[in-house]
Structure 1
């Protein structure tokens, strides 16, 4: 299983093999994996190598160390990296996604959005995003009616990115603010839970390649199910 003559570091080979075993169901979410001593014997590597591989998987949210008990497999979470639509994330993970439209209408631009949108009418689209029959997100999106023309309920079953591309827009980047949210009774009902779970609120302004803001999204995610991975870089005097 481990090729010590390979240019690929041994710990990295080990890490990938552990991931494969988890994917194959050798260790399921919530189960304890083999001990460090057992892994040393199975793979024929040092305990330091085992700890390096496991340490990276802990940092990535794949494994969880519990002092005095062992290392456990975490429940798989949805991870957003770079500019990906929620639909793309779920497709990449091989999971089943469906959208339940909670509200869809045309509205006059609300006062709190007047500084963002100068146009009179907006589409307001509120959707529950349900992954493998479990609601993990509530999205509320505002799009100027003049940008899109006609949108119907059937179109809202898929990606909004794709809808906008159909109207000639290319999504380029977004600017987001992130905050924690305390779950109230309304959110418990929306997410169909009977106890407090951690929530994350992300407000994003999404722009096309001409720096034109094409929609505003206010989304609430279950942060025990969703990870937002932020990559920050400095580019020739321009930071996004």
Structure 2
């Protein structure tokens, strides 16, 4: 889970982390509040539940899952809702984030972290997934230092200010996502921009994994944390501000 932890080191959101009626970092059930007991769970307050499936309290989750969730929350300032939703199925939680880590933390090949996030944004927009579009647009802004490119891709990839390399990469990813019949011509266009057959595999695997994630989000009615909307748009808090 190295990537998941390092991610929140670079993307910590400025305080405060309270938005509207939702307080991220302190999750309580209404029953616990009414009874005066503090039940530290993973269900957020507010009119809209995190998921249409039950979200366990942390005290009821396996230790390794709690440990990861608490470290991500501590270093990032909030816990992304996907962690809460996937905790409904602990074994699937482990498998999901293990494969996420393999794909996104891969150190070989020609895909940068910003490249992978842009692939996720483009294909998730194609699949109409609000959570993945919003969350990974934020991560693209952080890694690329480009504040508007992901927004352009969401609206219309054909009109976005993409480099020829990025355009070839996204065209291949979207061909996988739609799906088109993949031919040698698809690989040839990638190769013109320096992508190997192994890079094509990486593009396709990121696309395929997040197609699954998109469907999980549809099933569970997963919505993005409000913190994602500001990540990469405003300066990080300084060490002085965080004291």
Larger Rg, first or second structure (1 or 2): 1
TM-score for both structures, normalised by structure 1: 0.25
Determine which structure has greater relative contact order: mean sequence separation of CA pairs < 8 Å that are 6+ residues apart, divided by chain length: 2
Bigger proportion of residues as helix: 2
TM-score norm. by structure 2 comes to 0.25
More strand, by proportion: 1
